[in-house]
A and B are shown apart, each in its own frame.
Chain A
């Protein structure tokens, strides 16, 4: 092989590298090293819940059970009844969003009930995330909704009922995407 051809080859590779990110096919020269996994294996890692309830696991809970769990796992950071201190206030604050001192809580601000389950399961209790059972997460979710007066004390939360809960501030948001993504606030 001539030196000239080798040079051309190197040059061609360099051109491809520069163009990779914008190529429609995008696979030009990519090594294809992704390892296939089954849907079931992927599901074992899947923590996220969509607002329509997609992803919610089996199980259920009520506020009465949730109250006991809250006293054990949550009260040190969020206070009795979720009133806050030293960390986030979870209950109350409805009607404060136009005030100087807004009180943004699960009850006053969060637009989707599914987010409560999603967040507790992935991140709480702070010192031991992913340590609660799905039944326990449903129970804590029910407790916070009931304490905020959004569901009745006896209501059961599960994969069917939770997505049906309408949060008080559900219609309080203005979708900024995609309008702002291209040209900002103007």
Chain B
């Protein structure tokens, strides 16, 4: 057997990164056939027994399914704010998931005053302000409107904020980067409803307000609402979960999570941003000079390796699939590059199809781990040409302070033991 004759095994970057052709054209069999350093020696002396679950019928059907009991540890990380029950966040455990669609039960949460228990028959959406006709819409009436369906991500502006602290947090990937999720959203194009109400010229802003106890509110440019915004009613095929805005939420593709107002009850057309608490005192980016960016809407190009990552130790030298997620609030992912030597050299990763705008894209890279120290990084480039920045370049403007909109590169160090840790590289 010769390991070097197959061009797919070409090393494309330092410390063992292999050409993506390995995935694109030949499949996993090549990995096993051509690259595995582990000889297929029989190691199990036990006979292959017929398992007990093949010797009796299984359980009955269920009206609403749930994950295997063996996957009970795949849960959101729930955090909270002291003294105020219901205010806080929960994180999607991305290091335990694959693909690009986040299961509804694991979609991240950010609530400002708990999850309201809304009776859909008693809920209304009001559109008013600078419109020719103030209108209310019941949930049932919106369910009759023509729909649009898109697979798109939602990311909290505070996602990955921990990586701006002076010391890298030693936590699983999902606990650092889990304030983002991706779903298939179905709802009513907002342009239809705004046209029905008749927006009066000269008014370019809309105040959106939720029906939670905080009446959480944000200003949204009318241009965005008329472009690709929807009133989302369904998430991954089923009606929204309460923690994601049941019975209806605003969905603004690519814009920071907080603006996608849950439990939407009111849209008021106005002539200037309302400057609500959440768009002034929060979700603004203080720079080192003390000035702060305000109304910074799109979540910019970003990627993160979900495996290997902290807590997912490698078990011996050999070939591994490095995989993760890439996304951009400005469009499609054009390319993802992976480094195994701390950013000295980069190789191009394979992108799983379909590559959708303002959506998660799964990337994969074959890596031959020598068993020595390595630092894994991923760098995404979107269709506008924007390149994900390094952490060092990101903090030049902002410093190592808790902040929003951190889209800088994540680095994972792999020790000779196979243990993985979060490092700044």
Contact = CB atoms under 8 A, between A and B. Distances in A.
Q: Do A and B bind each other?
A: yes
Interface stretch (B60-68, B101-109, B276-284, B352-360): B276-284
B233 to A, nearest CB: 14
A96 B95 CA distance: 37
A77 B84 contact: yes
Contact of A34 (B82, B137, B207): B137
Interface stretch (B10-18, B172-180, B289-297): B289-297
Contacts of B266: 45-46
B189 interface: yes
Interface stretch (A22-30, A65-73, A137-145): A22-30
Contacts of B288: 98
A36 B133 contact: yes
B146 A17 contact: yes
Interface residues of B, number: 75
Interface string B144-156: 1110100000000
B386 interface: yes
Contact of A31 (B112, B144, B386): B144
B274 A39 contact: no
Contacts of A181: 221, 224, 297-298
A184 interface: yes
A4 interface: no
A9 interface: no
Contact of A30 (B192, B213, B265): B192
B215 A176 contact: no
A48 B216 CA distance: 11
For chain A, which range describes its interface: under 10, 10 to 19, 20 to 34, or 35 or more residues?
35 or more
Contact of A37 (B134, B221, B297): B134
B384 A29 contact: no
Contacts of B330: 182-184
Interface string A165-180: 0000000111111101
A150 B84 CA distance: 29
B141 A183 contact: no
Contacts of A97: 286, 290, 292
B190 to A, nearest CB: 9
Given A21-B189, A186-B386, A180 B296 contact: yes
Contacts of B136: 34-35, 37
A87 interface: yes
Given A51-B275, A126-B84, A175-B294, A46 B135 contact: no
B294 A176 contact: yes
A34 B196 contact: yes
B371 interface: no
Interface of A: 17, 20-21, 25-27, 29-39, 41-42, 45-52, 54, 76-77, 86-87, 97-98, 100, 102, 104, 106, 109-112, 114-115, 118-119, 122-123, 126, 129-130, 172-178, 180-186
Interface of B: 81-84, 87, 112-113, 126-128, 133-138, 141-142, 144-146, 148, 189, 191-197, 207, 209, 213-217, 221, 223-224, 228, 265-266, 268, 270, 272-277, 280-281, 284, 286-298, 300-301, 330, 384, 386, 399-401
Top 10 A-B pairs, shortest CB-CB distance: A34-B135, A33-B141, A97-B290, A26-B195, A122-B215, A42-B128, A119-B277, A177-B295, A21-B189, A98-B290
15 contacts: A21-B148, A25-B195, A31-B144, A31-B145, A41-B134, A49-B274, A51-B273, A104-B281, A106-B281, A109-B292, A111-B275, A115-B275, A123-B214, A180-B298, A183-B330
